[in-house]
């Protein structure tokens, strides 16, 4: 009602003014007729006021009725017009507050300044569940002009308080709190280990100073006696390094020898007085082998050659079965792969078919001398190399016998060396 009364009063004033201009003689100091120079008739001549000179009411006459067009007399044309013309279509908000209920609730309780407090926090921790809690309450809260406390664009006509919560739980644990932080707690397991190619060239030396001059792709050297700098120097010129240790026997000269328990030790190996067979069923033995594999990984070896993996076919001093040997050999292979190490099956010819899928290559001694090489063909048939060493004197002293040996080796795609039994690089003949 107040607004209607005000508009009527204004219209009356306009009419009276019109009458005055029709029946009275006025001095025309403006650029057009119909202007009123009477200083007493100026409604709101303060250039900074908000057309609010009338009992606290705001007359919004942003229509076409500019009564006084003189340089001084404009009704409600101050620079700070109180018409709320923001994008949110809110009518005037004089002290009696006007509530505009758009699709969201907008309550503007002041003239022209709006507070935008978009507090948009997105917690994105995966791809599937997005929860958006939009409060929908927009409150114009003067006197703070346009305060944007969030990352979403603020509308001057509304104060949007928006709380978006996006929860994403993917396969790993990804927590994205819009601050750029990703937390991944998934365990990382090595899966890309070295796999030697078929017919790979190699050198095998376990004693003496390592001769690094051979033009081969792969070196097989002792895990304990080789320093990391030697491994690194070989790798620096493009060679791969396989590290030897005995997995099935105790060696009295190794640095971890005191970790074995008396009950872990069995009979002495035939021809090797400082070695004893191990009870491969022992948890303690397995724990020591895990530590040796960790050492190989620490030193930077590309793979390992665990020796004496066929104790059950010998006289170990324990009642070992074929199943015991299979379980132990698979354990060694799996533990090596967990550490990103390639692993070779040493001898154990009778179990090749059961173990072919667990090992990346084979290391064999004297299969040509004992006519056992065909048992290793599953490796070459699977594209996995057989690293063979022969020690018989005929291959050393007789060039014809050696050439015949090499011909057979090449036909089978084996990588055969003729070496001294001590593997100390006193001599070396190669079939590749």
- pLDDT for the residue numbered 418: 98
Q: Which of 1-5, 84-88, 401-405 has the highest mean pLDDT?
A: 401-405
Same domain, 209 and 320: yes
332 pLDDT band, cuts 50/70/90, is: very high
| Chain segment 181-220, per-residue pLDDT in tens | 333 333 334 568 999 999 999 999 999 999 999 999 999 9
Final residue of a structural domain among 165, 188, 211: 188
Same domain, 141 and 177: yes
Which phi and psi (to 5°) does residue 403 adopt?
-65, -40
The residue ranges of DSSP E strands in 51-189, in sequence order, are 98-101, 105-108, 129-140, 160-167
Assigned domain for 45 exists: yes
| Chain segment 142-180, per-residue pLDDT in tens | 333 333 333 333 343 334 433 343 333 333 333 333 333
Same domain, 237 and 367: yes
> For 360-378, what is the mean pLDDT?
98
Domain count, the chain: 3
Among 164-173, 226-235, 317-326, name the one with the lowest average pLDDT: 164-173
12 vs 408, which has greater pLDDT?
A: 408
| Chain segment 234-252, per-residue pLDDT in tens | 999 999 999 999 999 999 9
Q: Given a cut of 90, is residue 356 above it in pLDDT?
A: yes
- pLDDT for the residue numbered 11: 72
> Rounded to whole angstroms, how far apart are CA atoms 398 and 380?
28
Q: Given a cut of 60, is residue 139 above it in pLDDT?
A: no
Assigned domain for 90 exists: no
Assigned domain for 136 exists: yes
Assigned domain for 197 exists: no
16 vs 428, which has greater pLDDT?
A: 428
Same domain, 184 and 51: no
Please give the span between the terminal C-alpha atoms of the chain, in angstroms, as a whole number.
108
Same domain, 30 and 153: no
- pLDDT for the residue numbered 84: 38
- Comparing CA positions, the residue from 246, 290, 282 lying closest to residue 264 is 282
- pLDDT for the residue numbered 212: 97
Final residue of a structural domain among 32, 54, 83: 83
Mean pLDDT of the chain, nearest integer = 72
Q: What CATH number has the domain bearing residue 279? A: 3.20.20.70
298 vs 28, which has greater pLDDT?
A: 298
CA 15 to chain centre: 78
Same domain, 256 and 378: yes
Same domain, 361 and 388: yes
Assigned domain for 105 exists: yes
- pLDDT for the residue numbered 9: 72
> Rounded to whole angstroms, how far apart are CA atoms 45 and 76?
8
Same domain, 291 and 416: yes
Final residue of a structural domain among 49, 83, 117: 83
CB-CB neighbours of 288 under 10 Å:
21
Q: Given a cut of 60, is residue 16 above it in pLDDT?
A: yes
Question: pLDDT above 90 covers what percent of the chain?
Answer: 56
- pLDDT for the residue numbered 8: 72
Residue 165 domain boundaries:
99-188
Do the Cβ atoms of 407 and 190 come closer than 8 Å?
no
Assigned domain for 93 exists: no
Q: Given a cut of 80, is residue 133 above it in pLDDT?
A: no
- pLDDT for the residue numbered 5: 67
Q: Given a cut of 80, is residue 48 above it in pLDDT?
A: no
- Comparing CA positions, the residue from 261, 264, 262 lying closest to residue 248 is 264
């Amino acid at each position: 009602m107040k607004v209607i009364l005000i508009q009527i009063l204004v219209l009356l004033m306009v009419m009276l003014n019109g009458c005055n201009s029709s029946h009275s003689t006025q001095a025309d100091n403006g650029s057009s007729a119909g202007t009123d120079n009477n200083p007493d008739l100026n409604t709101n001549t303060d250039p900074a006021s908000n057309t609010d000179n009338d009992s606290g009411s705001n007359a919004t006459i942003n229509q076409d009725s500019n009564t006084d067009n003189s340089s001084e007399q404009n009704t409600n044309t101050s620079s700070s017009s109180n018409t709320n013309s923001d994008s949110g279509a809110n009518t005037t908000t004089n002290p009696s507050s006007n509530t505009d209920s758009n699709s969201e609730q907008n309550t503007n309780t002041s003239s022209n300044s709006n507070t935008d407090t978009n507090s948009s926090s997105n917690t994105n921790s995966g791809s599937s569940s997005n929860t958006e809690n939009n409060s929908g309450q927009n409150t114009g809260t003067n006197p703070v002009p346009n305060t944007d406390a969030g990352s979403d664009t603020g509308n001057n006509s509304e104060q949007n308080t928006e709380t978006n919560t996006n929860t994403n739980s993917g396969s790993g644990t990804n927590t994205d709190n819009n601050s750029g932080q990703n937390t991944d707690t998934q365990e990382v397991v090595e899966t890309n280990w070295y796999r030697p190619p078929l017919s790979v060239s190699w050198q095998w030396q376990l004693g003496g100073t390592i001769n690094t001059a051979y033009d081969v792709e792969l070196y097989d050297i002792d895990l304990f006696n080789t320093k990391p700098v030697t491994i690194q120097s070989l790798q620096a010129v493009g060679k791969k390094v396989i590290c030897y240790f005995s997995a099935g026997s105790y060696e009295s000269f190794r640095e971890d020898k005191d970790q074995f328990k008396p009950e872990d030790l069995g009979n002495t190996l035939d021809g090797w007085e400082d070695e004893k067979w191990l009870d491969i069923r022992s948890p303690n033995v397995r724990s020591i082998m895990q530590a040796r594999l960790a050492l190989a990984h620490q030193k930077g070896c590309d793979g390992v050659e665990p020796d004496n993996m066929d104790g059950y076919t010998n006289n170990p001093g324990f009642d070992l079965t074929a199943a015991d040997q299979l379980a132990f050999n698979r354990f060694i292979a799996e533990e090596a792969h967990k550490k990103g190490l390639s692993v070779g099956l040493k001898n154990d010819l009778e179990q090749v078919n059961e173990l072919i899928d667990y090992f990346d290559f084979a290391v064999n001694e004297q299969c040509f001398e004992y006519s056992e090489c065909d048992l290793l063909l599953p490796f070459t048939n699977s594209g996995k190399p057989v690293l063979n060493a022969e020690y018989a004197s005929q291959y050393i002293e007789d060039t014809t016998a050696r050439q015949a040996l090499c011909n057979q080796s090449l036909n089978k795609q084996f990588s055969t060396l003729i070496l001294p039994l001590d593997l100390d690089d006193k001599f070396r003949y190669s079939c590749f």
